[in-house]
Structure 1
Amino acid sequence: MSTKPHLYIIAAMSENQVIGQDNRLPWHLPDEWVHFRKVTDGKPFIQGRKSFEAADALHSSYKNVVLSRNKNLESFDKTERADDLNEGIALLKDENEVFVLGGASVFEQALPLVEKLYLTIVHTTIEGDAYFPKLDWDEWELISSEFHDKDERHAYSFSMNLYARKEA
């Protein structure tokens, strides 16, 4: 019997759905990083090549799957390459929980498959060139939300939200 892992998206987006600019995050939110590490610790990641190679990329200390058709992609410790999302999920079929880290096109492909969204809303509108896909909010239920005000270390306030897909 083949099993499939529980698939989750973890991302941060502005109120106008920006997730990136020039292949970087358009903000620096240290406490959100702490939250990210706590949620994803010891879990495998799936992400696109550009997200994996970004200057501020996040890599799992456990296992990474990079989506790229480039068979000559530089290989790293604890990292495997897959041609597409389905192949990436198949590589992680024995895992319980898998986090999808983006970018935009990977989020779009994964969205119909994921059970939970760990979605931080950064309370600003900002210029960017990568956007989180449009969500049908009727399909999602807010499970928890933790608000963080702006302070000397955080230029923007943000809410770390967890959404679960509603039962059909």
Structure 2
Amino acid sequence: MKQQLYIIAAMAENHVIGLNNSLPWHLPDEWAHFRKVTAGKAFIMGRKSFEAPDALHSEYRNVIITSNPPAAGEPRTEYAKDISEALALLSGETDVFVLGGASIFQQMLPLADRMYLTIVHAQVAGDAYFPVFDLADWDLASSEFHGTDDDHAYSFSMNLYIRKQPA
């Protein structure tokens, strides 16, 4: 079976995904959605994303892209020097989630089969951005809106996009 690559991210309407290596929002229901969608699956991410204070790690398998792997790794964690090595390490996996950061998303976007992309309905300050992509290349398969409440300062939409097949 062909390996499926899924990008999973939350971005503000102005494409911000991070500020000072952290998420610029706290959205517990979006994190619950993330955990449900990614349970038992392998993750690929960059070193800074892996080391972020609010990083979410796979309880199954993490592949971290870095030019400087640590001498002693963490449990369920492997290191790769680039995207192709990361994909080779995960060649036996059918479903692989790409968690960022910005440069990893940029490199993986052309390869992704699906995007689980939460849109945070706000313009926020940040220093990391999700890459610009052409919506014409994707079908919106589902969208679930979540309004503001006591636990969520921003409203957001959890969207699933599936890459359109070439004609």
| TM-score between both structures, scaled by the size of structure 2 | 0.97
Any residues of structure 2 matched to 1:1-168 within 5 Å, and which?
4-72=2-70, 74-168=72-166
CA distance in structure 2 between the aligned counterparts of 1:71 and 1:152, rounded to whole angstroms:
40
CA distance in structure 2 between the aligned counterparts of 1:27 and 1:121, rounded to whole angstroms:
12
Q: Does structure 2 conserve the Cα–Cα contact (< 8 Å) formed by 1:4 and 1:93?
A: no
Q: 1:17-36: per-residue Cα shift (whole Å, max 9, x none)?
A: 00000000000000000000
RMSD (Å) for aligned C-alpha atoms: 1.0
Q: 1:13-53: per-residue Cα shift (whole Å, max 9, x none)?
A: 00000000000000000000000000000000000000000
Q: Does structure 2 conserve the Cα–Cα contact (< 8 Å) formed by 1:4 and 1:89?
A: no
Count the aligned residue pairs.
166
User: What stretches of structure 1 move > 6 A for 4+ residues in a row?
Assistant: none
CA distance in structure 1 between the aligned counterparts of 2:72 and 2:148, rounded to whole angstroms:
39
CA distance in structure 2 between the aligned counterparts of 1:156 and 1:125, rounded to whole angstroms:
10
Instruction: Give percent identity, aligned residues only.
Output: 63
Q: 1:66-117: per-residue Cα shift (whole Å, max 9, x none)?
A: 0001143541000000000111011000011000000000000000000000
